[in-house]
Each structure stands twice: as C-alpha cells, then as structure tokens.
Amino acid sequence: MKKNHNFLTRNQFLRVLKNLFFGFVALINFPFASTKLKKEKVEMFKITDLPQNGPWPTSDPFLFCVHHKDNYPIANDNLGPKDNLFGRNIGNDFSDMDGWSMYHGTAVPGFPRHPHRGFETITIVEKGLIDHSDSMGFSARYGDGDVQWLTAGDGIQHSEMFPLLNGNDRNPIDFFQIWINLSSKNKRVTPNFKMFWKNDIPKITKTDKNNLKSYTELIAGSYSNQKAPSPPQNSWAKNEQNNVNIWKIKLDEGADYILPEVEKNASRTLYFYKGGKILANGVEIQSKSMIEINNSNQVIISSTKGQAHILLLQGNPIEEPVVQYGPFVMNTKSEIQEAFDDYNKTNFGDWGWAEDGPVHGSNYEKFSKQNK
C-alpha cells in the first residue's frame, strides 16, 4: 500500500505564492481604495459656509446673489415700521437690528432710485411685497411667489421699496436677488422689464420610492419636461444651449432628489440655505452651505434632517472680462467710465415720480403697468 504524500511541484508552489501575494496586496489596499472613493466623492463638490450676512459668492455667468430675510414690525400710517429707528444708520442701514434693516430707505425700507447698466437683475419673492418704479415708466407691485426679471442693458434707474401693509401684525419679507451677466454684444441693448407672476411659474412635485416628496420651482430653464417662462430676448438665459437653470428646490425630510446631469461646460452651484442636513452623493452637508459641483454627472440629494431648502444657479460661463464698479458691470474700465459719463448726462431716462422711493398705496393689490 502506497503512502499518499501531499507534495507540491515547483510550479504549484509558485502559483500558491503568487495568489497569496496578490491577496495580501488587495487586503492592505482595501482601506486605501475606500479612502480614494470617499475623496473622489468629496472632490466632486467644493463645500463652503455661506456668509452670515451680505451677498453669496457666485460663478460666471452669475455676478451676485443675496438672500434678504427681514421680519419687519407692525406698519405705521406711512407704510414703514412702527418702531423707533434710533441707533440705525438711516439711509445706509444693513444692521439687521431686531431682525430687520431699513437698507437705503429712510421712512419705508428698501432701495430708492439707483442706476444699473450691463447686466440683469432677477428678484424672486417668497414672502412680502416689493414696489418697483423705473425710468422707462414702469411701476409694479409684486411678491408672495412672483418674480421680476429686469434687463438693465444700456442703462436704467429703478427703485425697489418694501411697503409694510399690516398694521396689526409683523410684516416679514423673504426674497432673493440674483444678477446675471450680459454678453458684451448685449450690454448696451434697450432695457426691458418683465414679470413672472406666481401662477405662471411651473412647480413640479415628485414622489420618491418611499412616498416622500420633493418640489421644484422653475425660474429659468427646464426640468422633468417642463419649462420656465421665457427669459427676456437678450438674456444669456434665452439661448437654451447656455444651460441656464434657476430653481428653488424643497425636499421633505427623508426625501430623495435627482439633480440631472448637464453638459460639461456648465457651472452648477447649490445654496443649501435652510434645513438641517443633506447627503449629496453620500457626502453629508450642513445647512447654510454653498456647494459647487465640479463635474457634469447627476447628483442624488437626500434630506436627512428636517426639510431642506436649496437654490440652484446653473449656466455656461460667458467667459469674458468683467469689470464692475458699483451698479455698473462692463468689460473694460473705459466702458465703466463711459457708463458714469452717460448717467451724468442722461440719468438713463426720465424719473416720473416725486420721490426717489415711491410706494404704491396701502391696498394689497398686485399689478404691473407702464405709465408713459
């Protein structure tokens, strides 16, 4: 009877040694592979804290974004705050004292007559009213869900006042103002005033697999086969190939939301301005954060703590020189000087009101009209 010896040939021994070696390499590299994957997820986003006050950083084609949220007191008979203004720098009050500011208003809060040239303002009002007046002869009262899109173009003066109508309770206002640049060929176009009324703005509700809801409000661009109202003719947002999207997004707690992929050239920024926490492709992000997305892939967003409120600004960059001085945004310093010279000569049109910051009565009535 022969003994059964378990001998390995030389080739068999080398194969076993090889398998052990690569298994060991895979084992010691597993934590590094996991770390690399996590790093790639983080590097997909640049996450920074939003400023506590003042404008938020933006990327081309956007120039400026600010979130105004003021809890104004009871109104007086002149549609201003029934409160002592002592201690405020009236005419330039950005103090947020007691949760509100007068800004450049003296009796009524807001921004009295001031000029612009070379870009567009987009004002998205979630709560409260704004009284608009301009040197083209337009006046309007809008708010509580409405949007105004103003092409400053060759030059315009306008005022934006916040009338307080409620004499029995507080008068909160909550709105965004966004500036989007004009390309050099359109910086001197005829100014244009346009209203997007609340009922004209698409609002898309989606339910995820867990029966939780997300809500998307389309100010510009398209989503889920729906389109926002058409931007002004000379706007960078008018050409769909420029991929301009301005959305307000709201997620119920626990809800998932898919931000679609986009062409590689587009810049995308999420402003997570209200809520608790979200996950973006597995990366946990606290509220009051700005999230710059560094690639064109889709992003899966989940609200993990509280209802999440997010503003999306997206668009292909214009990629032209930007020279800004106060209310003027042009391509060269000489064009800025020309803007000042033109404003001093023409005032960018006639001002048809007796006051620099007119308000339009004490009745809650939305309207838009040209007085000329």
Residue partners of 255: CB distance under 8 A and separation at least 6: 208, 210, 212, 213, 214, 302, 303
| pLDDT at res. 26 | 36
| pLDDT at res. 41 | 55
| pLDDT at res. 3 | 39
Q: How many CA atoms lie within 13 A of 89 on its CB side?
A: 7
Nearest to 116 by CA among 157, 175, 73, 162: 157
Please report where in the chains the tokens 């509220």 appear, as a residue: 287
3-class DSSP state for residue 97?
helix
What is the spatial distance between Cα 150 and Cα 115, in angstroms, rounded to a whole number?
A: 12
3-class DSSP state for residue 11?
helix
| pLDDT at res. 371 | 79
Q: In this structure, are residues 177 and 132 in contact, taking their beta carbons and an 8 Å threshold?
A: no
Q: In this structure, are residues 289 and 301 in contact, taking their beta carbons and an 8 Å threshold?
A: no
Dihedral, 239, 244, 246, 252 alpha carbons, nearest 10: 120
Q: In this structure, are residues 38 and 30 in contact, taking their beta carbons and an 8 Å threshold?
A: no
Q: Give the pairing of strands 289-293 and 45-49.
A: antiparallel
Domains of the chain: 47-83+104-319+352-356 (2.60.120.10)
Looking at 114-272, list the stretches that DSSP marks H as alpha helix, in order from N- to C-terminal side.
none
Is this structure's pTM higher than 0.85? yes
Sheet strand arrangement including 283-286: 256-259, 299-305, 277-280, 283-286
| pLDDT at res. 43 | 79
The series of mean pLDDT values per 10 residues for the chain, 372 residues long, is: 42 41 36 40 86 95 98 98 96 97 98 98 98 97 98 98 98 98 98 97 96 98 97 98 98 97 93 97 97 94 96 98 96 98 96 96 96 68
